Amino acid sequence: MKAHRCPNDHLTYPGHARCPDCGEPQEDTVSLADRTAEVVTWTTSTATPPGVRQPNHLAIVEFDVNGQSVRALGQLTTNDVDIGDSVTPVHVDELRDPDAGIREPTSQHWDGYRFEPV
């Protein structure tokens, strides 16, 4: 879980080839995996894509990286959260069931991060 930084010090997550703010190439990364974020908002989806758990709890969280705000959207480990709660990213091997999709399972990465309350 990495935010990307351009030469003008703008941070974005997920990364892009060019900075959405200034158009410069994003050349550096900052790990968010070992940081704490704050829940900005969250919801529960009951109509999920094939292979995604039901219900699926999702949150927009905000990391503070040396005074800069970086927001990320991701699954939660629980629905026991509130706006303003602190969460940390937790790596999981499968965010969805690889056998439930329409693509060949080996053609994609299935791992990623969920946010867990601190």
pTM of the predicted protein model: 0.87
Q: Using one digit for the tens of pLDDT, what is the confidence trace for 47-87? A: 998 889 899 999 999 999 999 999 999 999 999 999 999 99
List, as one string, the DSSP characters of 6-58: -TT--EESS--SB-TTT--B--EEEE-TTS-EEEEEEEEESSPPTTS-SSEEE
For the chain, the structural domain boundaries read 36-57+73-117
Q: Using one digit for the tens of pLDDT, what is the confidence trace for 84-107? A: 999 999 999 988 887 877 777 777
